[in-house]
Chains A and B, each alone.
Chain A
Amino acid sequence: MSAVGISQSPKPQASRLVALLVLAAIAALVAATPFLPNYHIRVVNSLLIYILLGIGLNIVIGYTGLLDLGFVAFYAVGAYTYALLASPQLDLHLPFLLIVGIAAVLGMITGILLGIPVLKLRGDYLAIVTLGFGEIIRIVVNNVDWLTGGPKGIARLDKASVLGVEIARPVEIYWLLLVTVFLVGLFVWRLERSILGKAWAAIREDQDAARGIGINTTNAKLAAFATSATIGAIAGTIFAASQRFVSPESFTLQESVLIVLMIVIGGIGNILGIVAGAAILILLPEMLREFAEWRILFLGILMVVLIIVRPAGIVPRSFGPEKLIRGLFGK
């Protein structure tokens, strides 16, 4: 899809220049972040977590064309897995990487269990079921005080450490997140171009035709949902490890909607679009703190307008990672 877009592009030189500029800007930001004050690094970290969440949710929304409004539930599953397995709460102190693995599996299982009744029957109900599920997880976490600490949450989580290196300061979290985002992004990008990714695109474009050419649409949808849930859970563990505190407040419906907004505004189905969307949604409020309410109003209107006027979002779909790579190495 994107490859065709490039070869047909009227001005290959100009688009190559844009690709190089974008690459240079990203490289400069990545390199400069560690030298920023801690507060700014924290903002960048939250940006990276949202990019990770966006990449995960985009599999369901952008690639497969289903709406998931309870994505934050999987995020919560990951965060609480870390909080329970690496804190004085249950007096368990497992290593970070092991917990990431456990959380990923738990996220996948939750995704499959939730996906089976919905995706098997009526895919269009997914939005409402996930919306309900997100609220349920929050209510349960809020009320099972003996396990999750209820509204107070769980504090004093262990510092994460990877291969003996402690990861606690914002800069260290930054590197951890950067590597994770890169690996997950690469994995998902490859997945999109795999046969499974093409099945997802087929389902998105025309479900009947997809079924007609022999795609098991239920299984393909389940795979998308489970992969997305897994990524959500991984993002949750890193979030918990970086905050070293979790509470139900971080997992509200508004958070789910924010991630959907991010994808729609940046560009549905495009990893670079998610980076742009996350940057707009996370950095904008940092700059315009006094207009907090107006910002959400503006974003809501922007969402409606973009879907009608420019459904692909602000970053065109042809402007994917391929373009950046080609821009770097020539044709």
Chain B
Amino acid sequence: MLGTLIQQTVNALTIGSIYALIALGYTMVYGVLRMINFAHGEMFMLGAYAAFLALTLFVGEIGAIGALGLTIAFFGAVVAVGFFGVGIERLAYKPLRNSTRLAPMLSSLGVSLTLVTGIQILAGPQPVAFPSFFPTTRYDFMGGTVTSVQIGILIAAFVLMFALYTLVNRSRMGIIVRAVSESRPTAQLLGINVNLAISAVFFAGPLLGAAGGILYASYYGIMSPSMGAVIGLKAFTAAILGGIGSIPGAMLGAYILAFVEVGGTALLPLITNGVLGTEYRDVLSFVILILVLLVKPAGILGEPVSEESMVYKREF
């Protein structure tokens, strides 16, 4: 029993870390632009494909993947996706900054569609086996099994989140981003370079999302062009649960969601006597989303803001 508990806790922490990395991108973009970026799930997918590409290149060059090759592939892929995110913002969202709120969301939907189909054409629509980034070893820990992949995911996610947290709270760039997130017009009036802040967010968000994608793909050993859709929805739920716009909130929400999901999936067939099986796992996160909206729409750590104050006026 204890073994199962530990096992499930580690599973939840692993999947929660991946949700957190993606949720951070949603929450930061929502913070500065008040837009839901539907193409964010695709950054997650691109991360896995970019890393796969980098790995196959290294295999071709060196013959075997060493620790150095893995590190370069990982960071090369996430930085590349980060720059890609900045480019997409410039091309598809920046021209729409002063139009209706619907326009950038529709544009991101178009970007998402383009990226999924683009990868489908380039790499084929079928799922591809993904090489593990960590050598797989199993450790028995008080009756539960923990794999080295899970430990690696936890460490990588914690390091990335800690780095982001430090950057946002301690660096000058972090102050700029937080100021723009607080109020874009005021920040602009104070002479803050709003474009720089937005670019920073569109670099960091996709970078973390891509890292999440690589970790996810090496955890399950598989990647597909459509992998971003459902995970994106869940990460967004996590961001709302924690309080959208709040960075610690996104992390907290992601872990809560993961625990509810793992626990719920294990308990659901027991509670309902087998009527509702594990296939309802995705339904669970959606029910949480609705409940949060009904009970506490600001989320756990979000500030209670009314909808009006979130609306930017068009400049005439």
Report which A residues bind B (CB closer than 8 A): 61, 65-67, 69, 117-118, 121-125, 127-129, 131-133, 135-136, 139-140, 142-143, 204, 206-208, 211, 253, 257, 260-261, 264, 293-294, 296-297, 299-304, 307-308, 311
Is the pair B102, A67 in contact by a Cβ cutoff of 8 Å? yes
Whether a CB of chain A sits under 8 angstroms from the CB of B70 is: no
Chain A contacts of B286 at CB under 8 A? Answer: 132-133, 135-136
The answer, yes or no, to whether B159 is at the interface (CB within 8 Å) is no
Q: A117 to B121, Cβ gap below 8 A?
A: no
Contact between A61 and B102 (Cβ–Cβ < 8 Å)? yes
B150 shortest CB reach to chain A, Å: 27
Question: A211 CA to B38 CA in the complex, in Å?
Answer: 28
B279 at the interface (CB under 8 A from A): yes
Taken together as a complex, chains A and B put the C-alpha atoms of A132 and B38 apart, in Å, by 13
CA distance A98 to B277 in the complex (A): 35
28 contacts between A and B (CB under 8 A): A61-B102, A69-B109, A118-B293, A124-B101, A125-B36, A128-B236, A128-B237, A132-B233, A135-B286, A142-B279, A143-B279, A204-B100, A207-B307, A207-B311, A208-B311, A257-B113, A260-B106, A260-B109, A261-B110, A261-B113, A300-B111, A300-B117, A301-B114, A302-B110, A303-B109, A304-B91, A304-B107, A308-B96
Is residue B103 within 8 Å, beta carbon to beta carbon, of the partner chain?
yes
Residues in A with CB closer than 8 Å to B222 are none
B95 at the binding interface (Cβ < 8 Å): yes
Interface of B is mostly: helix
* Residue pair A117, B113 in contact (C-beta under 8 Å): no
Name the one of A122, A129, A140 contacting B307, with C-beta atoms under 8 angstroms.
A122
CB distance from A154 to the nearest CB of B (A): 19
Contact call A308/B107, Cβ cutoff below 8 A: yes
Q: Is B167 an interface residue (CB 8 A)?
A: no
Which chain A positions have C-beta within 8 A of B95? Answer: 308
**In the complex, B283 has a CB within 8 A of chain A:** yes
| Known pairs A304-B92, A311-B103; A143 contacts B280 (CB<8 A) | yes
User: Judging by beta carbons under 8 Å apart, are B36 and A128 in contact?
Assistant: yes
- Report the Cα distance A131→B40, complex, angstroms: 15
Contacts of B117 in A (CB 8 A): 293, 296-297, 300
Q: State the B residues within 8 Å of A (CB).
A: 34, 36, 38, 91-92, 95-96, 99-103, 105-107, 109-115, 117-118, 120-121, 229-230, 233, 236-237, 240, 277, 279-280, 282-283, 285-286, 289-290, 293-294, 297, 307-308, 310-311, 313
- Give A67 to B294 CA distance when docked, in angstroms: 19
Contact B307 A124 (CB under 8 A): yes
- Please list the 4 inter-chain residue pairs (A to B) with the smallest Cβ-Cβ separation, ordered nearest first: A303-B110, A300-B114, A300-B113, A304-B110
Q: Are A122 and B297 in contact (CB under 8 A)?
A: yes
A297 touches B100 (CB 8 A): no
| Closest Cβ neighbor of A205 among chain B residues | B100
CB contacts (< 8 Å) of A127 on chain B: these are: 36, 38, 105
A269: min CB distance to chain B, Å: 11
Find chain A residues with CB under 8 A from B99 CB: 311
Residue of A139, A208, A297 touching B282 (CB-CB under 8 A): A139
Q: Which of A123, A124, A264 contacts B34 (CB 8 A)?
A: A124
For residue A112, give the distance in angstroms from its CB to the closest CB of chain B. 14
CB distance from B83 to the nearest CB of A (A): 19
Given A122-B297, A257-B113, A301-B110, residue A65 in contact with residue B311 (CB < 8 A): no
The closest CB in chain B to the CB of A305 belongs to: B110
Say yes or no: A303 contacts B96, CB within 8 Å: no
- Complex-state Cα separation, A301 to B280, whole angstroms: 34
Complex Cα distance, B311 from A211, in Å, reads 13
Q: Which of chain A's residues have a CB closer than 8 A to the CB of B307?
A: 121-124, 207
- Cross-chain contact A65 with B102 (CB below 8 angstroms): yes
Of B120, B282, B313, the contact of A135 (CB 8 Å cutoff): B282
Contact present for A139 and B280 (CB under 8 Å): yes
Beta-carbon contact of A139 and B283 below 8 Å: yes
CB proximity of A228 to chain B, nearest CB, Å: 15
- List B contacts of A129 (CB < 8 A): 289-290, 293
8 Å CB contact of B106 from A118, A142, A301, A303 = A303
- B284's nearest neighbour on chain A, judged by CB, is A136
How far does the alpha carbon of A299 sit from the alpha carbon of B117 in the complex, in Å? 10
User: What are the residues of chain A within 8 A of B285 when measuring CB–CB?
Assistant: 132
Q: A117-B293, A132-B233, A303-B110 are in contact. List 19 more A-B contacts (CB 8 A).
A: A61-B102, A124-B34, A124-B36, A124-B307, A128-B236, A129-B290, A132-B289, A135-B286, A143-B279, A207-B311, A261-B110, A293-B121, A294-B121, A297-B117, A297-B121, A301-B110, A304-B107, A304-B111, A308-B95
